[in-house]
Structure 1
Amino acid sequence: MNEAISVVQAANVDSSAVAAKKKLSSQFFKKGITIGLLSGLTYGMFSAFLTLGMSMGVWADWYGDNTAGLSAFAIVFIVGALGSAVNDICSAVWALINVGIKGKLGDFFRTINTTPGRMIMLAALLGGPIANVSYVVGIQLAGSMAIPITALCPAIGAILGRVLYKQELNKRMMLGIVICVSASVMIGSVGIGADAADSVILGLIIAFIAALGWGFEGVIAGYGSAMVDSEVGITVRQVTSGLANLFILLPILGIFGGSIMQPFSLAGQAFTSSSAMIWFVVSGFFAFISFMWWYKGNSMTGAALGMATNGTYSFFGPLCCWLLLGVIFGMEGWELSMIEWAAATMMAIGIFVIAVNPMDLFKKKEDSANEAA
């Protein structure tokens, strides 16, 4: 009799433990989704503050009256790349401060000499000098219309994963890609209208290059980031991106622009323009937070759903730019039409469909309801 009672008690304890574990897992998953969404929001804030910084101080002279007498090439590409470099350097400093406070600075230096660390550095070269710079230049030329175009990167990543690694590309993912492309066509129909400036068209094309760069980065970084602490991995990425922009890309652009020393002269002016640097420090902070939360969200929900929640910056980016630049600072040209808002929302939905089966979320809700009952 006593043995039977013990068996029943043990069974009750086991079932309670299983229920508690499921509850903790559910809470962990929901927290991961929240963090992923915050990464998309902070990316939108980073975009807005970066653009604000590039409209202040010496940047206003370059983009406004151009008192420095810069060529069109220098204004579009060298100054645009410099904006990305300054932001990434600020972001790298925030990341180094973070790992320093948490006692992970030694891990950062050790990771650089490992294969996963080198993979992250390679991914950073694609995401930094190529994608980040294209992102900044695209925004400067096409405004917030460029942001949803860059959000094609998850769709591109899915296609590249299929081509390079034979990863699954099922009907649901293809539907999501079609939704994303349709949203891009909607944005393009507005930007490439009869009254559109040539700079807008060029900006949208360059924004697509950013999407390609981030698509390749996501495919390559997936291997390295899976074996490295997320905060350390982000530090490796941001430091690599900032230094590569400043000491590799800018001199190359300087050669094309006719003077290898011109970018360094402009960089000196940019880093000493206090009225602009204030906003670059803020944009760098939000860039660091966004990437950190993206990595953390991926580790909590899986890369697919993490990519979907982070991809909501296709909506948050235009929203933050409109609120900060248009409403608060009264700058013209940051309002979006209903078509553009609809396209940005469609892009976020398409990214979500690519990354996760929506029916799975309903199943999780049903499981939670059954556990509660």
Structure 2
Amino acid sequence: MDVQELRKLELKRKVNKGYMWAFFCAVLWGLWYIPGTIIWALPPFDSMWVNIDASNGASAATVVTALLISAFNALTVILALLVWNGVLGKFGEMKRTLKAFHPCSKWFFAASIFGGPIAILGSFIAIGFVGPAFGAVAALLYPVTGSILAYLWYGEKITKRAAVGIFVIMIGGITIFVGGALTELSAGSIAWVGYIGGLMAAVGWGVEGAIAGKGLDIAEPDVGITLRFLGENLIYWVILIPIVVVAMGIPMFSYAIEALNPMAILVLAFAGITFGFCYVSWYKSFPLIGVGRGQGVANLYGLCAVIFIYLFFGSVPEWTIWVGAALCITGSFIMFFEEAGEIESLRGD
């Protein structure tokens, strides 16, 4: 076997490994919507919603409850990731990466802004207003955002096949949003805030992927994702939740203490483990196959989530969600079947 054949074999292994990580991300991400749906019905989140609804209205109750759930999700994820990095012996690397703020860790803290209070909070808002099936597929447009930003920002290549996949994903996303909105309008009402939450998720995760791709040029994925969730926890617990306490007079920290009951902890731990390792897989795929392809294959989470939601809750989504999800997944598969040689170099010259 000559050098060229060895190089091609190594490239194929690298690409296959990248797609494998992206697929693991899709399955774990889909599973995350199970605890993400259950937690709304558990104390204190159920009574919290009722109490805030009585004083501030249903919309405020849903958004504020989603904020506290998102904060706990970030907390359980960081705990899972700290255990993971401890097992891998990467605390020293984490310390070095954290100190290298300007060349490295600043990217992960920036990613935490778009991935946390924009994408994840938006996803929970979509679940709260429209339902878990919509919340699961609303963000399927995010590979479009991520691919375009990665191309414009640091020249990540978009091949013709990848461009076709992105276009199909865009059509699927439009079907989900416009079709769902028209269905609700025909019924006489529409949960606009839920659709805004879905757009927050689509834009936020796309931007986060592009930013993280920049940071992963010089940082390990396991360490980078931990710093990203460290930033998200600071945003929730030090900034946003105190603002809600001061501005609205809602006892958020009292509700947080009440959430430390066995059932809520069990469900939140399930969320933390599935979402934490979903993110590890997501970040590991980026250096191997690029942000656009990593996000495109991970888009299969929409199909996984809809299947899991149906199996666990018996919830059958609207036909627009099925059609839109099918188009998004088709677009992801178009990107998936690129030849390894087409992505030998992830970035343009």
- Does TM, normalized by the shorter one, top 0.5? yes
- Distance in 2, Cα, partners of 1:43 & 1:291: 8
Which residue in 2 is equivalent to 1:360? 339
Task: Report the AA paired with residue 237 of structure 1.
Answer: R
Secondary structure at the counterpart of residue 314 of structure 1:
helix
Closer/same/farther in 2, CA of residues 359 and 103 from structure 1, 3 Å limit: closer
Q: Which runs of structure 2 are paired with 1:50-199 in the superposition (5 Å)?
A: 50-63=36-49, 66=51, 69=54, 71-72=56-57, 73-114=59-100, 115=102, 116-143=104-131, 144-161=133-150, 164=153, 172-188=161-177, 189-193=179-183, 194-195=186-187, 197-199=189-191
- Distance in 2, Cα, partners of 1:48 & 1:83: 14
Contact 1:61 1:68 in 2 (8 A): no
Which residue in 2 is equivalent to 1:339? 320
Q: Which runs of structure 2 are paired with 1:260-271 in the superposition (5 Å)?
A: 262-270=251-259
Which residue in 1 is equivalent to 2:215? 224
Contact 2:81 2:226 in 1 (8 A): yes
- Distance in 2, Cα, partners of 1:25 & 1:167: 17
Q: Could you tell me how far 1:36 is from its partner in structure 2?
A: 1.3
Q: Could you tell me how far 1:179 is from its partner in structure 2?
A: 2.1
- Distance in 2, Cα, partners of 1:238 & 1:82: 15
Q: Could you tell me how far 1:47 is from its partner in structure 2?
A: 2.0
Which residue in 1 is equivalent to 2:331? 350
- Distance in 1, Cα, partners of 2:276 & 2:326: 25
Say yes or no: does 1:214 pair with 2:199: no
**1:133-179 deviation line (CA, Å, top 9, x unaligned):** 11111111111113222121111223334555566667655543432
- Distance in 2, Cα, partners of 1:76 & 1:346: 30
Secondary structure at the counterpart of residue 57 of structure 1:
coil
Q: Could you tell me how far 1:101 is from its partner in structure 2?
A: 1.9
Q: Could you tell me how far 1:348 is from its partner in structure 2?
A: 2.2
Q: CA RMSD in A?
A: 2.8
Task: Report the AA paired with residue 139 of structure 1.
Answer: I
Secondary structure at the counterpart of residue 151 of structure 1:
helix
- Distance in 1, Cα, partners of 2:127 & 2:235: 21
Contact 1:148 1:347 in 2 (8 A): no
Q: Which runs of structure 2 are paired with 1:236-315 in the superposition (5 Å)?
A: 236-256=227-247, 258-259=248-249, 262-270=251-259, 272-315=260-303
Task: Report the AA paired with residue 327 of structure 2.
Answer: M
Task: Report the AA paired with residue 103 of structure 1.
Answer: G
Closer/same/farther in 2, CA of residues 254 and 150 from structure 1, 3 Å limit: farther
- Distance in 2, Cα, partners of 1:22 & 1:167: 21
Contact 2:107 2:215 in 1 (8 A): yes
User: What is the aligned residue count?
Assistant: 336
Secondary structure at the counterpart of residue 218 of structure 2:
coil
Q: Could you tell me how far 1:22 is from its partner in structure 2?
A: 4.4
- Distance in 2, Cα, partners of 1:74 & 1:217: 26
- Distance in 1, Cα, partners of 2:128 & 2:272: 18
Secondary structure at the counterpart of residue 130 of structure 2:
helix
Which residue in 2 is equivalent to 1:368? none
**1:335-359 deviation line (CA, Å, top 9, x unaligned):** 1134322211211223454xx4845
Which residue in 1 is equivalent to 2:346? none
Contact 1:89 1:243 in 2 (8 A): no
- Distance in 2, Cα, partners of 1:322 & 1:89: 28
Secondary structure at the counterpart of residue 226 of structure 1:
coil
**1:77-129 deviation line (CA, Å, top 9, x unaligned):** 21101111101100000101111122111221221121211111111122112
Task: Report the AA paired with residue 182 of structure 2.
Answer: I
Higher Cα Rg, which structure: 1
- Distance in 2, Cα, partners of 1:227 & 1:363: 24
Contact 2:52 2:61 in 1 (8 A): no
Contact 2:213 2:286 in 1 (8 A): no
- Give the TM-score normalised by the residue count of structure 2: 0.85
Closer/same/farther in 2, CA of residues 142 and 196 from structure 1, 3 Å limit: farther
Q: Could you tell me how far 1:61 is from its partner in structure 2?
A: 2.4
Unaligned runs of 5+ in 1: 1-13, 328-333, 365-373
Unaligned runs of 5+ in 2: 344-349
Contact 1:81 1:133 in 2 (8 A): yes
**1:242-283 deviation line (CA, Å, top 9, x unaligned):** 231222122233444x22x6222222222x232122111011
